[in-house]
Chains A and B, each alone.
Chain A
Amino acid sequence: MTAPIAMTTDNRVLVEAAYRGLAQTWIEFESALAQVPVVARLLAGKLRLEDYRRLLFNLRQQVVEGSRWISRAASNLGPDHEELRSLFVRHAVAEHRDYRLLEDNYVAAGGSAEEIRAGRMNIGSEALSAFMYHAASRPDPVGLLGAMYVIEGLGERLAGPWSQAIREQLGLGDEAVSFLAYHGANDGDHLDMFDRALAFAIADRATGDEIVRHARIVARLYRLQLEEIDHG
């Protein structure tokens, strides 16, 4: 366990309410993901190598933008949110070459580097990425913490089991699943950081509601991205 979260009694109730909203958003998201065709095939042990390649191909086009929208959000966090800005900047640094893992995995799974680098976003990735840049471009985009909660939650809760299942179902080596395996192993730490960020950020109910609202939007758009994998 990490050190206790730095919460004042003033915002404890607000932070707890935001956690309830985020947790319920996550639970609905996780349940709904299981119905998305590519995830359903994975959970049923019926994934094909071409499914996995398309997953990597589609994820890469969105992940390559990840640290860019986080950086833009950081630049829009004003003097009242210095702590948060520093967290966002560190987060952007930690993630900004993640897409290379996806490219390496794609090649290890039999794809070509040129092909994945030349790829375009699917409809869901376009919507997700556009929303991220839109939200990050607003002044003091604290609501994006909700977006990070969903994306880091994917890493912490799903990436590990998914990487394991993919390895087993497709007989792939570590070099082909390192993106998912890395997030499965590390996003727990990112969520600890998130706990501190939430405690800093939530000064009023409106902020908590915004964070939960962003989480719900991103959960829906992320699911759309995975649904669109089959409509390449």
Chain B
Amino acid sequence: MLTASPPLPPVLYSTNPLIKLHVQQRYRGDVHFVWCSEYFNAKLLPRYEMAAPPSSDPAAIYRTLRDDVARCDRHSLKIAALKAGIIARAGEWERDGAITAEDREEIVCLAESEDFTLWKPLLYVIPRTALEPNRVQRVRPADRAGTAREWVIQDLRRPEFDILEIDL
């Protein structure tokens, strides 16, 4: 799925919902799995740049989540996908022995909460230069949402990134 990465940008950006931060801090030993982009906002790029499509553009994801949370949109595609993914993962982690059955219940309870603020977006700003290159894995073209480069970091630690809430 992933291949080693050639030259990397100095900073990576990733948008994640608050619930994911909670889950990874409290149930995954504060180790964070992030899907990132070298650009925060593809809309601001020159037209000849390989811009990420909205589904993997941190600014577009941020706007979508922010708007869906503000509207308490029960039909939000983004929130529905994140919720299904988190609940599925909770079960898999438990079957792997990484978390307990009580942990799984708590994660599901959070994901099922009626409180939309759990889905509010957070922007992770990740100074890539502080990370060993082999921890930043380039996503294979077949797994990307578009033509732009994307990366995955499977073991990001909390001191290695900053979290921003922004007005867009």
Decide whether A and B assemble into one complex: no
